[in-house]
Amino acid sequence: MSDQVERLKAALADRYTIDRELGAGGMATVYLATDLKHDRKVAVKVLRPELAAVLGTERFLREIKIAAQLHHPHILQLYDSGDADGFLYYVMPYVNGESLRDRLTREGELPIADAVRILNDVADALAKAHSEGVVHRDVKPDNVMLSDRHALVADFGVAKAVSEATGHEQLTTAGVALGTPAYMAPEQATAESHIDHRADIYAVGALAYELLTGRPPFTGATQQEVLAAHVTKEPEALSKQRIDISADLELVVLRCLEKNPDHRWQTAEELLTALDSFTTPSGGAAPTGMAAGRADGRWWKVWAAIGASAVILAVTATLLILWPSEELNPDQVVVAVFDNETGEESLDYVGRMAADWITQGLMGAGVVQVVPWPDALQAWSYVAEEADAGRSMNVVRAIAEETGAPIVVSGRYYLERDSLHFRLDVIDAREGVPIGGELPPVSGSSDAVREVIAELRDRTMGYLAVSFDERIGSVAPLVSTPPTIAAYREFNEGMNWYVAGEYPEANERFESALKLNPNWFPALRLLLINMWNQGRWKAMDSVLSGASLLDSTLTEYERAWVGHLRAWVDGDIDRSLVEIRRAAEMSPGSKAVYNLGSAANRAFRPREAIDALLSLDPTRGAMRDWTRYWNRLTDAYHMLGEYELELQAAHRAEAQYPQNLWRVRPLAALGRLDGLEEVIAESIASRPPHFVRTQLRRAAEILRVNGNGIASVSIANRLLTYLESRPSEEVNSVHHRQTMGWVLYLVGRADEARYVLDELLEDPHLIQSQYRFDVRGMRGYLAAMAGDLDQANEDLRWFAALDGTYLKGRHTYWRAVITGALGDPDEAVRLLRQAYRDGRERFANDAEHAYLDPIRDHPGFRELMTPRG
C-alpha cells in the first residue's frame, strides 16, 4: 500500500501534493491534498485499482464530465479528473466539516428541524441535477457533507458515470457494488435495466427515515436480506419509533419509500415543495395528495413490475405463497396427525392418538383456542388425500386454510431399538416458519406408548401456554426445554402474584414450578427478577451459582439472561447492559427489549433506552398492562433533558393508564406552574398516599434546582400539610416519616427535620426497611450542613464500615453526599463516581436531589451527570 501511495504522489506531483488519507469507501480512497495552482485544500478521490482495471479511461472521463457541469449551492463541485500513471481520480473541494454519517454515528436520530433542513438541501441539489438529466444513484449519509448549517451532496453523477462506462455485471465481477443496500430503491435492488431519477427520491426517503429514527428503514444480517426487504417489506411507521414526528412529515417520508416508482413523489421539485411546508414558522400544512397511491403501493401488487432478480424472486415467491387469507383466526391452534416414520404400519394409530390427546389437553387446559379433534382430523384427512394426489404441496398451509387456524402443531415419530421418539413442530402458517427452533424430542419405551404420549401432551401444552402468554414477552422460541402443564400452572400463579406486586407469594410459585421442571428457564428468570425487585442480592447470588452449573443445558438466549443478572449482582452495570443487549437482539419485541431499555438507563445511556423502548408497542404483546414501560421511557427523556418529549410521552401514558400521573416531572422541569398546579391538585384529591408523597417531593426538588425557589417551597408546604393530615396508621410508616423529615428541610425547618430522622433511626422497623440507608444518609447530610461534625462523621463511619458485597454502591453514594456537605467536593465526586462504578443505579432525578447541592458546580459532578452515548 505504501508503494501505491508513493506512486500516486509522484504521478500527481505537478498538480497536487498528497497530505494524508482521509478514508476509503466502496469505490474510492480519499486523500487530503493541496492544489498547487490555486493554493487550496482539496479532496482527491482515487478509484480502487480493481475498479480502474475494469474501467476504460476514455469512457470514464467522458461520462464524468457530465457531473463536472453541475453547479449548485448544495452540490459539491467536481474540480478536476484524470488518469495519472493508471490511477483514475477526480478532485472535489475539501469541506472542513463532517459527513452526515459522522453526525449520525455520534448522535443517532437528529432533531426534527435539523433533519428537515438537511433533507431540504439534499432535495434542492437533486432537483438541479435531475433537471440536467443526472441521476446520483448513491444518495446516502456518507455522500452528504455538512458545512456550517448547510448540506452538500458529494460524488454527484460518479456512480452513474461508472455504471455507464462499464455496465453492472462487470462491476459485480470486480467486487464493486453500485449503490448502497440500505438506501437502494427496489428497482436498483432487482437490477432493473432502466433506473431513473425516482430511485434518488427513494434514497432520500431512506435517508430521511434514518435521520428521524437513527436507523435505516430496513436492516439485515446480509446485503441480500436488506435488498430483499426493500422489495418485499413495508417500513415500520416512524411514529412508532419516535413520538414527536408529525403525521404529515411521516407521510412525506413514506411516500418517498413507495415500492412502485409511480407512487412516489414524481420529481425532486415536488418533494422539495412538500419539505418546504415544514420549514415555515407554523410548520405549514401537508401538501394535498401526499398520501395518494399509498393503498396501491403494497409490494404484493407491484413486485412483478419491478422485475426481481433470482434471489429476491425466490424470497418473494415464498412470501406470496404463505401470505395469510383473511379467514385465519390469529389466536387459534390446530393439531395435525403425527407422521409415522417407524416403518411399521402397526404403529399408525400412534400419530392419531398423539394428536387427539394433545387437542383434548389443550381444550381442557384452556391455554389457547384449539380446533376440536373431529374437525382437525377431517381437515387432515382431506389435505392428506390432496397431497397424495399431487394437488397440495404445502400440507401445513393447507391445514391452516381448511381450519382457519394459523398455528399448526405437527410432528413425527420414529423408533431406535426399543425406544419411541417424538419430534414436535409448531408452525406459523402465516410466515411459513417454525415458532422457535427444533424442540427436544420426547422419548420412552415403545411398550409404554400411553406414557410417552402423555409426556408429549404435557410438553406441548406447556410450550404453547408459554408461547401465547404475552406477559412472558415472546421468549418461548428461545427457551431450551418446554415445561409440563403442571409447571406452567404454578408459573402462571406466580405471574399473577408478581404483576400484583406480591413478591413473596410469587417467589413460592416460581420455586414450585422449578421443582417440577428444574431446567425451565422462564421460571428461573422470573424468580431472579422477583428477587431483584426485593433487593435480595444474596439470594440471587445463590440461585445464579446453581444456574451456572446448568450452563451446558442453556440456550444462547438463556445464557445472555444469566450473564445479565450475574453482572448486575456483581455490580457491573456495563457488562449487564452488554448481556441483555444480546438477549434483546435474539428476541425482538419481547420483555428482553424492555429490560434493555432499563439497563441502558442504569448505565446512563438514555438514547439507547429510548431506541429500545420505542421499538415496542406499549399497548400489546409483552408490554400489555406494563405501566413500567412508561416509567422507563419518561426516565430516559428526563435524563437527556428532553422535557417536551417527556411530557408528550406522559400524555400518551396517562391516556393508556389514567390512574397514574406522569406529567408532574416534565411540567416541573419546564416550569409550567399552572399545569403543574392542576396535576398536583388532582394527585392530592384522588391518588394513593405513596404516590402523592413521591410526586410532590420530586416536583419540589426539580423546581428548586431549576431556580424556581418560591414555587418549590410552596409545593413542599402543600406536601407538608398533606402529610400532617394523614391518619395515624399511615403517619407511623417509615416512608411517611422519611418524607416528612426531608420536606421539613426543603421548607427551611432543618432542626425539625433532624429531629424526625433521629427519632426514625431509633425505630426497630427501620432495620428491615428498604429506606434505612436513605434515612441515615439524610441525617448525616443534615448534620454536616448544620455544622454538627461529630454526628456527620459518625454517620460517615457507619457507612464506611458496611460490607459492600451486595449493597450496589448505595453506602458509597451516601458517603459521597455527606462528604460533599462536609466541604470536600473532590473526594465527594470521587466517591460518587465509585458508587456508580460499583452498581449504584442511575435514576432520572439524580442530578436534581437537593442533598447534592454542595457539589453541583464541581466540574466532575457535571461530567458525571452528562449522559453517555
Instruction: Kindly report, residue by residue over 659-687, the tens digit of the pLDDT.
Output: 888 999 999 999 999 999 999 999 999 88
138 catalytic, yes or no? yes
Q: Distances from the Cα of 108 to the Cαs of 181, 464, 611, 616, in angstroms?
A: 19, 39, 9, 18
**Residues near 153 by Cβ (< 8 Å), separated by ≥ 6?**
74, 75, 76, 121, 122, 125, 126, 136, 139, 143, 144
Q: Copy the grid coordinates of residue 579.
A: 448481556
- The answer to which of 146-160, 299-313, 722-736 has the lowest mean pLDDT is 299-313
Class of domain 476-554: mainly alpha
- Specify the 3-state DSSP secondary structure of 244: coil
Query: Is the predicted pLDDT of residue 773 greater than 70, yes or no?
Result: yes
Please state the CATH superfamily assignment of the domain spanning residues 2-93 in this structure: Phosphorylase Kinase; domain 1 (3.30.200.20)
Q: Give residue 280's pLDDT.
A: 43
Please state the CATH superfamily assignment of the domain spanning residues 98-321 in this structure: Transferase(Phosphotransferase) domain 1 (1.10.510.10)
pLDDT band for position 159 (cuts 50, 70, 90): low
- The answer to which of 570-574, 585-589, 748-752 has the lowest mean pLDDT is 585-589
pLDDT band for position 323 (cuts 50, 70, 90): very low
589-599 per-position pLDDT tens digit? 778 889 999 99
Q: Give residue 426's pLDDT.
A: 84
| Encoded amino acid at 296, one letter | D
Q: Give residue 170's pLDDT.
A: 42
Q: Give residue 444's pLDDT.
A: 83
Q: How far apart are CA 506 and CA 530, in angstroms?
A: 8
Q: Distances from the Cα of 647 to the Cαs of 610, 619, 634, 702, in angstroms?
A: 14, 18, 8, 15
pLDDT band for position 460 (cuts 50, 70, 90): confident
One of 138, 142, 356, 611 is an active-site residue; which one? Answer: 138
Query: Is the predicted pLDDT of residue 749 greater than 70, yes or no?
Result: yes
Q: Give residue 166's pLDDT.
A: 47
511-540 per-position pLDDT tens digit? 898 888 777 777 888 888 888 877 788 888
Query: Is the predicted pLDDT of residue 719 greater than 50, yes or no?
Result: yes
Query: Is the predicted pLDDT of residue 622 greater than 80, yes or no?
Result: no
Q: Give residue 55's pLDDT.
A: 64
Q: Give residue 652's pLDDT.
A: 92
pLDDT band for position 607 (cuts 50, 70, 90): very high
701-714 per-position pLDDT tens digit? 999 998 999 999 99
Q: Give residue 569's pLDDT.
A: 87
pLDDT band for position 488 (cuts 50, 70, 90): low
174-183 per-position pLDDT tens digit? 334 445 789 9
pLDDT higher for 472 or 582?
A: 582
Q: Give residue 547's pLDDT.
A: 63
Q: Give residue 438's pLDDT.
A: 57
Q: Radius of gyration over alpha carbons of the chain, in Å? A: 32
Rounded (10°) angle between helices 734-746 and 750-761:
160
Nearest to 511 by CA among 539, 470, 475: 539
In percent, how much of the chain has pLDDT > 70?
A: 83
Rounded (10°) angle between helices 734-746 and 689-705:
20
Report the predicted TM-score, pTM, of the whole model to 2 decimal places: 0.54
Q: Which H or E run contains 91? A: strand 87-93
pLDDT higher for 438 or 814?
A: 814
Rounded (10°) angle between helices 628-639 and 606-614:
140
- Specify the 3-state DSSP secondary structure of 121: helix
pLDDT band for position 113 (cuts 50, 70, 90): confident
- Specify the 3-state DSSP secondary structure of 853: helix
pLDDT band for position 818 (cuts 50, 70, 90): very high
pLDDT band for position 309 (cuts 50, 70, 90): very low
Rounded mean pLDDT, 26-36: 82
Nearest to 461 by CA among 483, 490, 479, 492: 483
Q: Give residue 532's pLDDT.
A: 82
Pair 495, 485: CB distance under 8 Å:
no
- Specify the 3-state DSSP secondary structure of 133: coil
Query: Is the predicted pLDDT of residue 206 greater than 90, yes or no?
Result: yes
Q: Copy the grid coordinates of residue 503.
A: 413478591
Q: Give residue 756's pLDDT.
A: 94
**Domain with residues 332-467, CATH architecture:** 3-Layer(aba) Sandwich (3.40)
Rounded mean pLDDT, 504-516: 87
Q: Give residue 298's pLDDT.
A: 27
pLDDT higher for 315 or 778?
A: 778
Give 148-201 as a DSSP string.
TTEEEE-STTHHHHHHHHH-HHHHHHTT--SS-GGG--HHHHTT-S---THHHH
